[in-house]
């Protein structure tokens, strides 16, 4: 993505101090989502990143990962798989409890959501400490897909969440709020 476009999208992201707890500088992407040009730029950039990877399933992490996850699935001709909080999925699930920057959480995925033939793109809006996506990756990898990619709209590089992922997993983000 061109530098000017990156800066435009970044300028649309609102910072919310002390949310959801004191000391957290929350990056609110809803202000970028409501801007049609920023939304188009992000959708186009994400599609371009994965257009030639043979993606068959896109896993969106609840809840903001559903937005671009579903768009990417449609644009890439793939299926969409929601990864949700406990009790939200109706069929048999597998789950993982993990620690994140301000507490513990649990996520679930349908046990039959991914097959060994799938090439999976996992998407969430933001990479901070990495706990949520690493837990999600653990769940997806129990289903033995052919290949897994991990993607975010933005990351907080200074928190070093990227370092938690195995070396064989390609992790991308559209932009970084390094030190911001």
Catalogue the active-site residues: 64, 101
Hey, which bits of 29-179 come out as E strands? 57-61, 79-83, 93-100, 103-110, 119-127, 147-155, 170-176
CB atoms within 10 A of CB 91: 8
CA separation for the pair 163, 29 (Å, rounded): 23
Nearest to 151 by CA among 88, 93, 71: 71
Provide the token pair at 78.
């793939």
Phi/psi of residue 168, nearest 5 degrees: -85, 0
Cα distances from 18 to residues 27, 64, 111, 129, 160, in angstroms, run 11, 19, 36, 17, 20
For the CA atoms of 42, 48, 51, 52, the dihedral, rounded to the nearest 10 degrees, stands at -150
């Amino acid at each position: 993505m061109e530098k000017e476009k990156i800066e435009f999208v970044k300028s649309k992201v609102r910072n919310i101090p002390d949310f959801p707890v004191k000391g957290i500088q929350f990056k609110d992407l809803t202000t970028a989502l409501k801007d049609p040009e920023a939304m188009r730029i992000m959708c186009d950039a994400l599609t371009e990143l994965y257009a030639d990877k043979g993606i068959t399933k896109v896993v969106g992490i609840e809840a903001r990962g559903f937005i671009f996850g579903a768009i990417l699935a449609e644009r890439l001709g793939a299926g969409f798989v929601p990864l949700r909080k406990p009790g939200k999925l109706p069929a048999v699930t597998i789950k993982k409890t993990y620690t994140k920057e301000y507490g513990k959480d649990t996520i679930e995925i349908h046990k039959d959501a991914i097959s060994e033939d799938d090439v999976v793109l996992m998407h969430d809006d933001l990479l901070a400490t990495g706990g949520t996506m690493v837990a999600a990756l653990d769940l997806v990898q129990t289903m033995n897909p052919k290949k897994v990619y991990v993607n975010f709209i933005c990351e907080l590089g200074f928190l070093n969440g990227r370092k938690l992922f195995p070396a064989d997993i390609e992790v991308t983000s559209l932009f970084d709020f390094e030190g911001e």
